[in-house]
Amino acid sequence: MKILVVEDSLVTRNHLEKSLQREGFDVCTASSGEAALQTIVNQGPQVILLDLYLPGIDGLEVCERIREHPKVYGTPHIIMLTGKTEQEDIVEGFVRGADDYVKKPFNIEEVILRIRAVERKSAVKAEMLKIGEIAINLSANSVREGEAEIKLSKTEYNLLVFLAENRGVALSRMKIYEMVWRDEFIQGNRIIDVYIRKLKNKISTFEDHIESLQGRGYILR
């Protein structure tokens, strides 16, 4: 599970990063609201530990932007880190879109337990992947768009699943080819583009979510 730590205090940020890495989590960090939003787009974290007080865009605004633009930022689980204890401030965090909160000074074991709870829920949900109107049932190897069932070839399905599992992550053509086709990528191979077009033709809303990265690869929003 990828976790983004957004904290302007270097000491607190390093403490969280090292503690979570020891638990086996994939951790990225940001020290400002602006940097956090860009990191979310580039890294696609499943959980965000979000400090309330940040330079520039504060944590509440970051949280609100994430929830207002799910196609851009995905739907990560947001745990607000706050030193405030007033009930109205906690309520404001939930109104803006936070899922949980931890008061500072925090116990790192409590933070880890809360993330583990998210991890368990994610494992249950992992049988189904959703991208807008597109629903992928992993246990049945089936795809639906709204009420309509979409018939895909094995390669088309595997490509769609790989993109969905890495939503929000910039993927090079080499990475996609090696993971979906299970073969060594040769520069200039355009078969990935062919299959992306096949998915666009078969799934009407797929084009709304897939973005070409200037010839380098793709990202699914």
Give the pLDDT confidence of 114-166 residue by residue, as tens digits. 898 888 777 655 578 888 899 999 888 899 999 899 999 999 999 999 999 88
Burial class from Cβ neighbours inside 10 Å (0-12, 13-18, 19+) for residue 18 reads exposed
> Which CATH superfamily, name and number, covers 2-125?
Response regulator (3.40.50.2300)
Q: What is the pLDDT of residue 158?
A: 94
Residue 20: band (very low, low, confident or very high) from pLDDT cuts 50, 70, 90: very high
- What does DSSP say about strands 47-51 and 77-82: parallel, antiparallel, or unpaired? parallel
Q: Give the relative orientation of helices 191-202 and 173-180 as an angle to the nearest 10 degrees.
A: 80
pTM over 0.75: no
Q: What is the pLDDT of residue 86?
A: 64
- CA distances to 137, 144, 161, 164, 203 from 140, in Å: 5, 11, 13, 16, 18
Q: What is the pLDDT of residue 214?
A: 81
- 87 contacts 95 by C-beta, under 8 angstroms: no
Read off the pLDDT of residues 25-76 as tens digits, 9 standing for 90 and up. Answer: 999 999 999 999 999 988 889 999 999 889 889 999 999 999 888 878 888 9
Cis peptide, bond prior to residue 105, ω within 30 of zero: yes
Domain 128-220, second-level architecture: Orthogonal Bundle (1.10)
User: Hey, where are the domains in the chain?
Assistant: 2-125, 128-220
Domains 2-125 and 128-220 share a fold: no
- CA distances to 43, 118, 144, 189 from 194, in Å: 26, 37, 21, 10
